[in-house]
Amino acid sequence: MPSPKQIVRYPSWLTAGIGGVVLLSLFTAVQSYRSADAYARAYQDPYMIQAQPERLREAVRYLPDKAVIGYLSDLPFDAVPGQSAHFGIMYALAPRLVTRSADSHEWVVGNFSHPLDYAAAGREHHLELVKDFGNGVVLFRRRPQ
């Protein structure tokens, strides 16, 4: 014969406490979602990745379709803005492969955050300035040696 089931009764304060914790957890989850959604709507593209194809539209016309392109910038790659700028250029110039090196490729795209002497920056890497497209976008080509 099976043993009779025991009914366990918890104190009402414990049941109310657990219910309160569950309700507070649900409320916090909803608030967290709302906060994350508001932030995502306000800062949809903080590093302007989606703007890069338009910014590089003119430079793309000069570059061969299937080429490995070098990259030169004044932004250090070990910081988030420098990485984002490089990845934005990679996105805009696809299907071309953009490497971080400016020293070993025929074509090099320059992506600068501040105006400077672009020709001098290119000469440091044995590059010749092909065209300054404005807005920090510059195209270089390796000088024959």
Say whether both 112 and 84 belong to one domain. Answer: yes
Q: How many domains does the chain have?
A: 2
Residue 71 to residue 99: CA distance in whole angstroms: 6
Q: Tell me, yes or no, whether 2 lies in a domain.
A: no
Say whether both 16 and 84 belong to one domain. Answer: no
CB atoms within 10 A of CB 11: 8
**Domain enclosing residue 22, as ranges:** 7-44
In this predicted model, which residue has the larger pLDDT, 107 or 8? Answer: 107
Instruction: Give the pLDDT confidence score for residue 1 in this predicted structure.
Output: 67
In the predicted model, is pLDDT for residue 37 greater than 80? yes
Please give the model's pTM, rounded to 2 decimal places: 0.70
